[in-house]
Amino acid sequence: MHTKNALIAVVLLAVVIGVVDAAPQLPAEFYGNVSINGATAPAGTVITAQIGSEVRGTLSTTEAGEYGGIETFDKRLIVQGQSNEIGQTITFFINSNNAEQIATFQPGESQKVDLSVIVPAPNPTPTHTPSPSPPPSYGGGGGGYTQPTSTPTSTPTSTPTSTPTSTPTSTPTSTPTPTPSPTPTAPTPPPTPAPTMPPRPPPTPRPTPAPTPAHTPRTTPPPTPAPTPRIPGFEAAFAIVGLLAAAYLILIDGGK
Does domain 26-117 fall into CATH 2.60.40.1120?
yes
Name the DSSP letter for residue 29.
E
CA-CA distance, 59 to 17, in Å (whole number)?
34
Q: What is the mean pLDDT of residues 98-123?
A: 94
Give the number of other CB atoms < 10 A from CB of residue 167.
Answer: 5
Taking the domains of the chain in order of start, what are their residue ranges?
26-117
Q: Which residues contact 65 (CB under 8 A, 6 or more apart)?
A: 33, 34, 35, 40, 41
Whether pLDDT at 226 is above 50: no
Q: Which amino acid is at 29?
A: E
pTM of the model: 0.45
Question: Tens of pLDDT along 16-74?
Answer: 455 445 456 899 999 999 999 999 999 999 999 999 999 999 999 999 999 999 898 89
The better pLDDT of the pair 139, 116 is held by 116
Whether pLDDT at 117 is above 70: yes
- The DSSP annotation for 31-74 comes to EEEEEETTEEPPTT-EEEEEETTEEEEEEE-SBTTEES-SSTT-
Question: Tens of pLDDT along 149-197?
Answer: 555 555 555 554 545 454 545 555 555 555 655 555 655 666 666 656 6
